[in-house]
Chain A
Amino acid sequence: MTSELEVGLYIFLLAGFLGYHIITRVPPLLHTPLMSATNAIAAISLVGSLVVAGSDYSGVEYGWVCTLLGFVAVTCSATNAVGGFLITDRMLKMFKTKEQRESGKKRPVEALFYGGVLGGTLLIGWLLYRSTPEGMTFGEYLHRHVAEEALRYCYIVSAALFVVGLKGLSSPKHARRGMALAALGMYIAVVGTLFHHHVVNYTWITIGLLIGAVVGGWMGLSIPMTAVPQRTALSHSLGALAACLVGVSEYFRYQGELSRVTLVALDFEVIVGGLTFTGSLIAAAKLQEMLPGRPITYRGQNLISLTLLGVILASAVYLVVTQAATPFFYLMVLLAFVFGLLLVIPIGAADMPVVIALLNSYGGLADAAMGFVLMNKIQIVTGSLDGTSGFLLSLLMCRAMNRSATNVLFGAFGSVSEEEATAAAEAKGTVRNITAEETAVLFETARSVVVVPGYGMAVAQAQHAVAELASILHERDIDVKYAIHPVAGRMPGHMNVLLAEANVPYEQLHEMEAINPYFPEADIVLVVGANDVTNPAAKTNKSSPLYGMPILEVERAKSIIVLKRSMRPGFAGVDNDLYYNEKCMMLFGDAKDSITKLISEMKSLL
């Protein structure tokens, strides 16, 4: 037992480490699908639930309670698994490159493959079921044919598939294939578990799986993309509930007579599972606007929460010490539910994505704890992957919002000053940032691009990088034009000198009058270090020093990406209204560095 615990802990650590490394490579663009994916993978709690629901409780008093809890857990987890993978796939489909979209014939092939796997397994299952001899349960028959070791190898294969699947999320190109592999891993793990030696009763399992598949399938296919965050939250709550119920069921079955190690894991499982369940429900409700989105605070909030946490921890310790059935266990579960509510209620709806990522992490940890309780290694691996990825993701999201995690989680207590700051910034509108990765994906979907070079390109000596980017776009049949403003740069013909040096063909260069009518047709305008010559204030604002100067009308394009060192004004010393346009995104940094990064991102996409 001890050695197995040791192995379990090693697995937990290594899987966590692996999770950290895989997640750091996931571009911010794929953070939402990642959250959904880890959520789907967290449905590995299904494995534990199956064991609990299918076990033979004939020797246990009120054994039906265990079966019932297991059944609910199976239903929840199955919903989670099916819905999670389907919605992740839908999300990732939006990142398809042009080629993939054009060769749309792939779809039936995929469907055929999945259908084949499913149909084959069902057929074999049915044949096995039909050939069960009289007087022998299906479970006994299976266990005689399949050795326990086979299940372990199934788990190893599916663990590997999960890791490879998450790794796929590091680029939109491989993401879908990765998730398909992860789904396959989940399938193998679930099917393998049916052969688990504890599983003898298949009735409730089958019903639970069917309900879960139908509900999850419906959720996964019909929920609008805009509702993905709340669905993910809801799904977390189901997964956490499953973990919690499995824990309760185990406790009930053995009436607390378990080893202290197992009890620690079990306590952790039910507490974290419980608070994640209610916390996620609140998060989902806030996102769905069933609860007010603003932070809800009241006096003594901290005190109440801390007292509650104290009671929960005290109960947990008491349970581990006594190693016996006490009503404290149920009190603890109940309080964990309440604590989950209190934890999320004070957090504003805008910060919910961070909370969801964090709850995802909790859900993963609860899963891992379940793995320790049942000594199921696939659950330890997955739970650990999930726990670290969720935690890291929430930190990354905080960083993207330029706030500390403490500020997000406990910020409701001092949010006034921040609101003022936001109000001041909103007077002018917001500036949207974009990363090189996201820009690369945008370019993938474009058909025509107009490059607007300016003095910033000259200073950064980015002309060669710009020309290389243009030739890559050209290879992908994306039309590239250069829009040269008559006063771009600091010398007449400044841009011509530089672009000629980079061998940009003369026919790609267009004068302002010639290109202005073309802007509405351009999918993307890439402004490389040009500022005043794109400022719409020159047309609209009479008080601007630029007023009357003809400009490149980039604001009429479908989207605008501005490469710029900072928000500093240009030669004329005025703020550029363009940057507050909702179609405009800023890619801050040295123009040459940004384009070089963009080029390598574009190359990695294909």
Chain B
Amino acid sequence: MKLAVPRETAPGERRVALTPDAVAALVKSGIEVMVEAGAGAGAFHSDADFQTAGARIVPDAATLYGEADVVAKVQRPTADEVNRFREGTVLVAYLQALSSPDLVQQLASRRITSFGMEGIPRISRAQKMDALSSQANIAGYKAVLIASESLAKFFPMLMTAAGTVFAARVLVIGAGVAGLQAIATARRLGAQVWGYDVRAAVKEQVESLGAKFLQFDLGVADAEDKGGYAKALTEEQSRRQQDMLAEKTKEFDVVVTTALVPGRTAPRLITKETVAGMRPGSVIVDLAAEAGGNCELTRPDEIVVEHGVTIHGPTNLPATMPVHASQLYARNVTELLRELVKDGALAIDFEDEIVRGACVTHGGEVVSEAVRTALAARNAS
């Protein structure tokens, strides 16, 4: 079985799907690994490192895809790349299948067996493959660092001869993995930190990191679905949430938003008016920028300054820390591959819970229930 690791082509992407360490482990288990020349450069892994680990360096993507049985990528492939895959190739990547219907249809028609890292179910056994968590962890950390850099203030409290500096007040909205890491990082930098989430169960988790939980009554029992993700709120509820949150948001120096609902545009939590009400010099880091943003003024991958408030909309923070991001992603991919490969040959058990969750297309069909529904909805409209 030949496993191919291409060079990422998306702009700004510096990660690589497998690191030399991961390659060495896979080679040891009997898999033949090919790496496109320069694939690891962004993450500071030279071709020589990959060679030492047992991989074969392939000069260009065309050759690579021409031979590959399995392709491991970070970003979803472009239409062009998909056309270069051999029919029946197995693809493992961060597909974002729910929001990329064209790609899914193309993968199906090319009879690619594709696995989306975002579809790994949240069960105990699959936690080591959970790339969403491993990368969100990085995003949460980096979001706070960006905020601290552009905040015109200290994070910690300091009592000095020249007077007292009060600690920055940080609000993290959405206490998923990224949110929790943002809370932890902001706390470590010395800020006063509050967390907020529509899921009541998360209060305990926010407090377990030593932060406070911002609470107000939305009239919902619990907005958590059985996979642990947030459910979409009704219009009435979301309006009330916005009102109360807007009122509270004005009191903070830094707001990090991470609220995402899978397969939908991100909920609007911070309006223009709220931003106008915030203290000048405050910072918003919107981690939902790619899905439309939690803040009305967010523009993906741009820095917007309105009413003296700086709004960041980074879409790919993990790529800014390519060494560790690649290391963690490579581990996730390796563990998934171990599920798909037995004794150096592909052996996919389509009944397995993990495979069922992550597999998007196979044998010319869209096999994922969730993606099929999303496609049908789009075709109807």
- Whether the Cβ atoms of B181 and A549 lie closer than 8 Å is no
- Whether the Cβ atoms of B204 and A572 lie closer than 8 Å is no
Residues of A within 8 A of B123 (CB): 545, 572
Chain B residue, CB-CB nearest to A570? B124
Binds B, one of A286-294, A305-313, A326-334, A492-500: A492-500
Chain B residue, CB-CB nearest to A574? B124
Given known contacts A490-B180, A549-B124, A549-B125, A497 and B209 CB-to-CB distance under 8 angstroms: yes
Residues of A within 8 A of B124 (CB): 487, 532, 538, 545-546, 549, 571-572
A548 to B349, CA, bound (A): 15
Residues of A within 8 A of B137 (CB): 491-493
Residues of A within 8 A of B210 (CB): 461, 501
- Whether the Cβ atoms of A491 and B181 lie closer than 8 Å is yes
* B208 in contact (CB, < 8 A): yes
Residues of B within 8 A of A492 (CB): 133-134, 137, 177, 181
Chain B residue, CB-CB nearest to A457? B208
* A459 in contact (CB, < 8 A): yes
* A359 CB → nearest B CB, Å: 50
* A413 in contact (CB, < 8 A): no
* B306 in contact (CB, < 8 A): no
A550 to B207, CA, bound (A): 28
Residues of B within 8 A of A549 (CB): 124-125, 127
Contact with B along A100-141 (1 / 0, CB 8 A): 000000000000000000000000000000000000000000
* A486 in contact (CB, < 8 A): yes
Contact with A along B116-160 (1 / 0, CB 8 A): 000000011101100001100100000000000000000000000
- Whether the Cβ atoms of B181 and A459 lie closer than 8 Å is no
Which B residues from 149 to 186 make CB contacts under 8 A with A?
177, 180-181, 184
Given known contacts A490-B180, A493-B137, A501-B188, A548 and B125 CB-to-CB distance under 8 angstroms: yes
Chain A residue, CB-CB nearest to B133? A492
A380 to B207, CA, bound (A): 58
* A528 CB → nearest B CB, Å: 13
* B109 in contact (CB, < 8 A): no
Task: State the interface size on chain A (CB cutoff 8 A).
Answer: 26
* B170 CB → nearest A CB, Å: 15
- Whether the Cβ atoms of A491 and B125 lie closer than 8 Å is no
A130 to B302, CA, bound (A): 111
Contact with B along A541-554 (1 / 0, CB 8 A): 00001111110000
Chain B residue, CB-CB nearest to A548? B125
A487 to B128, CA, bound (A): 8
- Whether the Cβ atoms of B133 and A490 lie closer than 8 Å is no
* A385 in contact (CB, < 8 A): no
A548 to B208, CA, bound (A): 28
Residues of B within 8 A of A461 (CB): 207-208, 210
Which A residues from 499 to 557 make CB contacts under 8 A with B?
500-501, 532, 538, 545-550
The 8 Å CB contact of A491, one of B128, B177, B207, is B177
Q: How many pairs, one residue from A and one from B, have CB atoms within 8 Å of each other in the complex?
A: 64
Chain A residue, CB-CB nearest to B123? A545
* B96 in contact (CB, < 8 A): no
Chain A residue, CB-CB nearest to B354? A548
- Whether the Cβ atoms of A486 and B127 lie closer than 8 Å is yes
- Whether the Cβ atoms of A487 and B125 lie closer than 8 Å is no
Determine which residue in A461, A492, A493, A546 has the highest number of CB atoms from chain B within 10 A of its CB, and name it.
A492
- Whether the Cβ atoms of B184 and A497 lie closer than 8 Å is yes
Determine which residue in A500, A548, A550 has the highest number of CB atoms from chain B within 10 A of its CB, and name it.
A548
* B205 in contact (CB, < 8 A): yes
A373 to B112, CA, bound (A): 101
Which A residues from 26 to 47 make CB contacts under 8 A with B?
none
Contact with A along B243-268 (1 / 0, CB 8 A): 00000000000000000000000000
The 8 Å CB contact of B205, one of A486, A491, A497, is A491
- Whether the Cβ atoms of A486 and B134 lie closer than 8 Å is no
Chain B residue, CB-CB nearest to A496? B184
- Whether the Cβ atoms of B209 and A458 lie closer than 8 Å is yes
* A251 in contact (CB, < 8 A): no
A357 to B133, CA, bound (A): 58
- Whether the Cβ atoms of A547 and B207 lie closer than 8 Å is no
Contact with A along B186-229 (1 / 0, CB 8 A): 01100000000000000011011110000000000000000000
Residues of B within 8 A of A491 (CB): 137, 177, 180-181, 184, 205, 209
- Whether the Cβ atoms of A490 and B184 lie closer than 8 Å is no
A547 to B127, CA, bound (A): 12
- Whether the Cβ atoms of A494 and B127 lie closer than 8 Å is no
* B60 CB → nearest A CB, Å: 36
- Whether the Cβ atoms of B180 and A459 lie closer than 8 Å is no
- Whether the Cβ atoms of B127 and A487 lie closer than 8 Å is yes
Residues of A within 8 A of B208 (CB): 455, 458-459, 461, 489-490, 494, 498
* A546 CB → nearest B CB, Å: 5
Contact with A along B45-76 (1 / 0, CB 8 A): 00000000000000000000000000000000
A532 to B125, CA, bound (A): 11
* B356 CB → nearest A CB, Å: 15
Residues of A within 8 A of B184 (CB): 491, 493-494, 497
A459 to B210, CA, bound (A): 9
- Whether the Cβ atoms of A459 and B204 lie closer than 8 Å is yes
Residues of B within 8 A of A459 (CB): 204, 207-208
Ranked nearest first, the 8 interchain pairs of A and B with the lowest CB-CB distance are A458-B208, A491-B180, A497-B184, A548-B125, A492-B137, A487-B127, A549-B124, A490-B205
Further contacts, 7 of them, CB under 8 A, given A486-B128, A501-B187:
A491-B137, A494-B209, A497-B187, A500-B188, A538-B124, A545-B125, A546-B124
B→A interface (CB under 8 Å): 123-125, 127-128, 133-134, 137, 177, 180-181, 184, 187-188, 204-205, 207-210
A→B interface (CB under 8 Å): 455, 458-459, 461, 486-487, 489-494, 497-498, 500-501, 532, 538, 545-550, 571-572
A-B contact pairs, 10 of them (CB 8 A): A458-B205, A458-B209, A459-B204, A486-B127, A487-B127, A491-B181, A494-B184, A497-B188, A497-B209, A545-B125
